[in-house]
Amino acid sequence: MDNAIDHAPLHHDGDSGIGVVVCHGFTGSPHSMRPWARHLAAQGWSVRLPLLPGHGTSWRDANRTTWQDWYTEVERAVTDLRRHCTSVYAVGLSMGGTLALRLAQQHPDLAGVVLVNPAVTMLRWDAKLLPVLGMVLPSVPAIGNDIAKPGVDEGAYPRTPVRAAASLRRFQAVVRADLPKVAQPVLLYHSANDHVVEPVNSEIVLKNITSADVQEVVLQDSYHVATLDHDAPRIFDGSVDFIRRLSS
């Protein structure tokens, strides 16, 4: 795997009627999702991997954005794919999974969703203080590169933008409240050892969505950024099988 950090978005037009929106996580960038996006594109599918506003530059830029900005970007990708695709899927890591869930809530005709360690709540005791902290403290040390595989860098910000994190927390509340609206097929991967997103996040998703077609896969050999970790090939191949089955 090429470890050179590349924050650029990925835009690929395939030769089939299948389209996939790939959503990266909070303070991350397309770098953490690029191998997965390329694997999906290699199937002949159209793929959009946008760079979310305020990401891939400086954490200070993230503090100037909100969850509405991030969601607008991935929704724009869905609109773009619908111009020439008969079925559109959404896949995402961490907050990218939250964005994918929101797409499913807002677009009932979305064909399916693949989630990796989705983030729909924050259990840290200080999470509720984020709106106040954001007024006096622009950033805090980040917990990045939660990857079991040695020598891999996800290219995330070295600090967590507090105002942006407060907006993320508000977004999570919106998505949690609307989880019953998710009725599409769902494939959910979650790591047994995730030091960023607590396991209860996946439990909340699985308990509250109304999908009849749900697959849960526990990843034993990866930490939070599983898309760059030991289980990445399993995620890539499993998502292809999932989409092929639904599109057949």
Structure tokens at 62: 């993230």
- Residue-level pLDDT at 95: 98
Section 15-20 average pLDDT = 97
Q: For position 184, which CATH number holds?
A: 3.40.50.1820
Concatenated DSSP letters for 180-194? GG--S-EEEEEESS-
Backbone angles phi, psi at 19, to 5 degrees: -130, 145
* Catalytic-labelled residue, pool 222, 224, 229, 239: 224
Residue 129's pLDDT band (cuts 50, 70, 90): low
Q: Is residue 139 part of a domain?
A: yes
The pLDDT, as a whole number, for residue 125 is 46
Looking at the domain assignment, is residue 21 inside a domain?
yes
Count: domains in the chain: 1
9-38 mean pLDDT: 98
Q: Is residue 62 part of a domain?
A: yes
Assign 134 a pLDDT band (cuts: 50, 70, 90). low
pTM of this structure? 0.95
Can you tell me the distance from the alpha carbon of 247 to that of 245, in angstroms, rounded to the nearest whole number? 6
pLDDT of 13 reads 98
Q: How confident is the model at residue 136 (pLDDT cuts 50, 70, 90)?
A: low
Check whether 171 is labelled as a binding-site residue.
no
Residue 34 lies in a domain: yes
All residues at 6 or more sequence positions from 69 whose CB lies less than 8 Å from its CB, including other chains? 52, 53, 54
pLDDT at residue 133, rounded to an integer: 64
State the residue range of the domain holding 173: 10-247
> Does position 116 have pLDDT exceeding 60, yes or no?
yes
Domain assignment present for 5: no
User: 4 in a domain, yes or no?
Assistant: no
**What would the mean pLDDT of 88-112 be, rounded to a whole number?**
99
Contact 92, 102 (CB under 8 A): no
pLDDT in tens, 180-194: 999 999 999 999 999
Instruction: Please tell me the distance from the alpha carbon of residue 133 to that of residue 161, in angstroms, as a whole number.
Output: 11
The answer on whether 122 is annotated among ligand-binding residues is no
Q: In the predicted model, what is the mean pLDDT of residues 12-20? A: 97
226-231 average pLDDT score:
99
Active-site residue flag, 55: no
Judge whether 184 lies within some domain.
Answer: yes
pLDDT tier at 28 (50, 70, 90 boundaries)? very high
pLDDT the model gives residue 143: 76
pLDDT digits (tens, 9 = 90+) for 197-219: 999 999 999 999 999 999 999 99
Whether 13 sits among the annotated catalytic residues: the reply is no
Torsion of the alpha carbons at 82, 185, 100 and 236, rounded to the nearest 10: -90
Question: What percentage of the chain has pLDDT greater than the value 90?
Answer: 89
Average pLDDT, the chain: 94
Is 230 annotated as catalytic? no
pLDDT tens readout for residues 139-152: 988 877 899 999 99
How many alpha carbons lie under 13 Å from residue 110 in its C-beta half-sphere? 30
* pLDDT category of residue 1 using cuts at 50, 70 and 90: very low
Residue among 80, 146, 194, 229 flagged as catalytic: 194
Looking at residue 2, what is its pLDDT?
Answer: 47
Q: Per the domain annotation, does 3 fall within a domain?
A: no
Q: Which of 29, 94, 191, 222 is catalytic?
A: 94
